[in-house]
Structure 1
Amino acid sequence: MLWGMHDDCNPVVLSGPGDCPPTFLGAPIVKRGTGQELCTKCLEILAVYDIPIESIIAAVFDTTASNTGIQQGCCTRLEQAIQHAILWNACRHHMAELHVKHMWSSFMPATKGPEEPMFKRFQKWYLPLARKAAAAAPSRQFPDPNVLVRWEWPADFTSSPHIGPYSITTTLALASKEWARAQLETNTFEREDYRELTESIYFYLGGDVSPYEAVQVPRGFRMRRPGAMHSARFMASSIYLLKMQLLSSIWAMKAREQTVVEKMAQIVALLYGPYYLKSRLSTSAPRHDLEFYYSLLAYISVEPAAARKGLDSVRRHMWYLVPEQVILCLFDDMVSDKEKKKVADALVALPAPRYFAPGKPNFQPVIRLLTDTRPSLAVYVTERSWLLFKLFRLDTAWLLTEPATWPLSPAYQELRDLTRDMKVVNDSAERAVKDVQEYANMTRDAGHIDDVILVGIDHRCRLSHLRKADLNDII
């Protein structure tokens, strides 16, 4: 179950397994926005649809106090109503944005308004220039790829022969560039801004900017015009930062701004961008969070203040390294069989509790296990790691076998598919918030808001597959 906030409406979305799309249930009006009130409204919506609360496996939420409060938070109250623990799936997009915003704050003071003045200035500079260039030479590419300021690869990579391990920046850059190249090859982007961020990272790190046959993508370099910007969403800011750095040879900035943009563009390309864009992968969440933490730990040698602020933020959001969630790594294809075996052995050595007491996950034991050397994911396993199996009620005999044979087990296959379908980002709730913004004002009767929104969503779904030509034929 997912929820988000818009003004005094609280959109509630229900997500299921497999091809079942997230379903908008309603947007009840909340007056105070407290955790108790939010929980009550969610339970009322479930009752309207005759959905038993015992069927709720997980809650997906932004990490606000009204959702996560240890006493009065909505998730706490929801568990108390269900009378057993569920999975607390903090929105991973929200987590990633919090981490990078704290790193950004080490360079720039907080902006009072909704827009960053530097980005607004860049937008005003870029748009007239792009129009002028298009009018003068419609067939020419703007901006010229030759003016792009790319990331300068460190000497330990460019020198030959190279001896010894690469520096942290080279290591991160190699991984990020290879990941971006693979994403552009597969060309499976849920949203165009995800594609734009991936392309910007790839170009910035030196990827081929011709119609790049090297990665077999039928698109050459194309910088899109600067779009929407809002201080509440750092992904848009990250695209701005990369564009500003790429065009820094022709766009004048103050010396301090240039330094900030250069440092933040590197952080976006090497750390934040890949982490954010991978964050919707539920079963990879424990591995990604551990990798991100130790990447930041190593990055202290590059940007001490920013890295430490990022680490402090990560320690406050250990949602997917707690015992209840770390077990997701058993279904991550990128975790080695050796590591999976350690996790499985640690789990089966512990008795499965008959009852899992409700309560907010405790980060402190996880933080204490974060030493200077990256540990095995198995160290985070406790008796509460059995919660996932309790909720899905599937056979666990496969845990006693070798990981290489797990895919042969129907129970493993089913649980793998269920966990991969599980939502760990709040995109569906954000889509519902947008629906509230679009449709809620079409009626003055608060009791009809849900009906109007549901009709609007149904109308959009019916027309979503149509092309412009189809609509012209209808007209």
Structure 2
Amino acid sequence: MDLLEAWGLTGVITALVFDTTASNSGVHRGAAKLLEQQLDRKVFYLACRHHILEVLVGAVWENLFGKVKSPENPWFKHFKDVWTDLTTDNPTTLSIRQKWLNKKKKECKEILQEILRSEKPPRADYREMAELTLIVLGDTPPRGIHWSRPGAIHQARWMARNLYSMKMFMFAEQLEYDEETVVKLERLNLFLGLFYTPMWMSSTLAADAPANDLQFMKDMMKFKRTDPEIAQAVLQKLETTSGT
């Protein structure tokens, strides 16, 4: 605050940009709240969209597979260890029967194909997530099907849950998972493929955030009919995540 005053900026601050860790977004002692108190006025919160979405997929994973207490996810470690033993020419894809979910599937495929065909395609890991989503939805990415070697397995990596979960589902038969695990992976991939990936890929468009957030919440309310546990986990986390 002293630095802001020295530079004469306190009167022109209208918004705060931050990730959603408690040290920044806490409702009582978070940095954003403390700055507001010292400025003696409300300012607009621009919480990092990717941090918010990361919290949501974390809640879904925990709901299905339980809390991972170690720095590295053991599910991902096992998959990474056996990756070179897998045959990748016949991945399992999602079978979707509900009419409204098939409509979402079509919309998602169109959005991702357009993004991947753009003059400035997304960076490597975002691109991989978009391509894996198309594959798990039964489509082929613009540059064809390519499989990247599994990367970091520590929980600090944003994309790990998404990338590993999709590959684990598509090769679940070779991995000899039990039926319960396969069903959980299918449920997770239905959420990732139809709702999460499109939301993630559009999250940098700040002007569209209010409309996108509202549509996402409406989708989750409707998704309760299909998977009430996942939908409720997402909605509860949205309610408690500052900045949403």
TM over 0.5: yes
1:152 corresponds to 2:76: no
TM-score by length of 2: 0.90
Distance 1:71 1:305, change over 3 A: closer
1:148–1:249 CA contact under 8 A, matched in 2:
no
* Structure ID, larger Rg: 1
* Deviation for aligned residue 1:230: 2.4
1:230–1:237 CA contact under 8 A, matched in 2:
no
* Deviation for aligned residue 1:270: 1.0
C-alpha distance in 2 between matches for 1:318 and 1:178: 31
* Deviation for aligned residue 1:97: 1.5
Query: What residue in structure 2 maps to residue 143 of structure 1?
Result: 88
C-alpha distance in 1 between matches for 2:5 and 2:176: 58
1:274 corresponds to 2:219: no
Query: What residue in structure 1 maps to residue 64 of structure 2?
Result: 107
* Paired residues for 1:435-454 under 5 Å: none
Query: What residue in structure 2 maps to residue 257 of structure 1?
Result: 181
1:170 corresponds to 2:138: no
1:241 corresponds to 2:162: no
2:76 to 119, 130, 135: 119
* Deviation for aligned residue 1:195: 0.3
Distance 1:189 1:259, change over 3 A: same
Query: What residue in structure 1 maps to residue 38 of structure 2?
Result: 81
C-alpha distance in 2 between matches for 1:247 and 1:109: 21
* Deviation for aligned residue 1:282: 0.4
C-alpha distance in 2 between matches for 1:51 and 1:235: 39
Q: Write the deviation string for residues 333-363 of structure 1: whole angstroms up to 9, x where unpaired.
A: xxxxxxxxxxxxxxxxxxxxxxxxxxxxxxx
1:53 corresponds to 2:10: yes
2:133–2:197 CA contact under 8 A, matched in 1:
yes
Percent identity of equivalent pairs: 29
Q: Which runs of 5+ in 2 are unaligned?
A: none
Distance 1:70 1:220, change over 3 A: closer
Please tell me the residue identity of whatever aligns with 1:281: L
* Deviation for aligned residue 1:194: 0.5
1:68–1:75 CA contact under 8 A, matched in 2:
yes
Please tell me the residue identity of whatever aligns with 1:225: R
Query: What residue in structure 1 maps to residue 135 of structure 2?
Result: 203
* Paired residues for 1:212-223 under 5 Å: 217=142, 219-223=143-147
3-state secondary structure, aligned to 2:45: strand
* Deviation for aligned residue 1:44: 4.5
Please tell me the residue identity of whatever aligns with 1:151: L
3-state secondary structure, aligned to 2:56: helix
C-alpha distance in 1 between matches for 2:28 and 2:242: 19
C-alpha distance in 1 between matches for 2:104 and 2:186: 16
Q: CA RMSD in A?
A: 2.2
* Deviation for aligned residue 1:190: 4.2
3-state secondary structure, aligned to 2:64: coil
* Deviation for aligned residue 1:220: 1.7
Could you list the runs of 4 or more consecutive aligned residues of structure 1 that deviate by over 6 angstroms after TM superposition?
none
Please tell me the residue identity of whatever aligns with 1:278: S
1:173–1:205 CA contact under 8 A, matched in 2:
yes
C-alpha distance in 2 between matches for 1:69 and 1:239: 30
1:299–1:307 CA contact under 8 A, matched in 2:
yes
TM-score by length of 1: 0.48
3-state secondary structure, aligned to 1:54: coil
3-state secondary structure, aligned to 1:173: helix
C-alpha distance in 2 between matches for 1:299 and 1:187: 34
C-alpha distance in 2 between matches for 1:299 and 1:318: 23
1:301 corresponds to 2:225: yes
Query: What residue in structure 2 maps to residue 229 of structure 1?
Result: 153
The alignment of Structure 1 onto Structure 2 pairs a total of residues equal to: 244
* Deviation for aligned residue 1:84: 2.9
Q: Write the deviation string for residues 412-433 of structure 1: whole angstroms up to 9, x where unpaired.
A: xxxxxxxxxxxxxxxxxxxxxx
2:217–2:235 CA contact under 8 A, matched in 1:
yes
1:186 corresponds to 2:118: yes
Please tell me the residue identity of whatever aligns with 2:49: R
Please tell me the residue identity of whatever aligns with 1:238: N
Q: Write the deviation string for residues 108-160 of structure 1: whole angstroms up to 9, x where unpaired.
A: 11011012211110100003x37xxxxxxxxxxx722xx11111232x6xxxx
Distance 1:45 1:251, change over 3 A: farther
Q: Which runs of 5+ in 1 are unaligned?
A: 1-42, 131-141, 157-165, 210-216, 321-475
